[in-house]
Chain A
Amino acid sequence: MKPDKSKQPMPPVNVWGPAVGLAWLIPGGGHFWLKRYGRAGLLAFAIIGMYLFGLMMRGALFQPGRGPDLLTTLIQYGGFIGNICSGLLYMLTVWLGYSQPDVPGAVHDYGTKFLVTAGLLNILAMVDAYEIAVGRKA
């Protein structure tokens, strides 16, 4: 009979915290910390590449705030969460003064989606780093 993985106790934070924290701050950083250099390089290439293309397409960053309706509010907060999941990339972008207004246009719109998706892909990388750190994955 297979052990029920959902009943496993949560490992202590000091086991997975540094890897997950680093994975959030620097895409691929968690895998690098865990000595998975090849995977770290691929994740960094894909996530940073997507983020940089988003900036070069002049995508907009989301601001948390209430919109005129519930859907707009959800999009604003969801987009903001996606943006901040890029870690240092997002912080540097804001600190260096990037402020692209959300203007109509296919390229801008793709850029906005690239910026959010980079953050969402980084969440997958963080989850993967967590699973490696606690020994659920090789």
Chain B
Amino acid sequence: MPRVTLSHFEAALLFAFFTSIVFGVVTKPNDRERLHYALYCFAWFIVALFGLGWLMFLGHR
């Protein structure tokens, strides 16, 4: 099994990507809504990622 080394940001992006796909697939009744919800979840993951990142940055100053 190859070894991968990812940055925090890359790992969090990958986590958001996979999780958003599953959330979209299992929660909505048709493909259009699934795609929208997956994109919506992914966008919120990114917002939370940057928000928490800034919070930790400012909290450690």
Q: Tell me the dominant secondary structure on chain B's binding face.
A: helix
Which residue of chain B has its CB nearest to the CB of A106? B8
Q: How large is the interface on A (under 10, 10 to 19, 20 to 34, 35 or more residues)?
A: 20 to 34
Q: How large is the interface on B (under 10, 10 to 19, 20 to 34, 35 or more residues)?
A: 10 to 19
B48 to chain A, nearest CB (A): 15
Q: Tell me the dominant secondary structure on chain A's binding face.
A: helix
B14 at the interface (CB under 8 A from A): yes
* Residues of B participating in the A interface, judged by any CB pair closer than 8 Å: 1-6, 8, 11, 14-15, 18-19, 21-23, 25-26, 29, 31
Q: Name the 6 nearest CB pairs between A and B, nearest first.
A: A46-B21, A128-B26, A110-B11, A50-B18, A56-B4, A121-B22
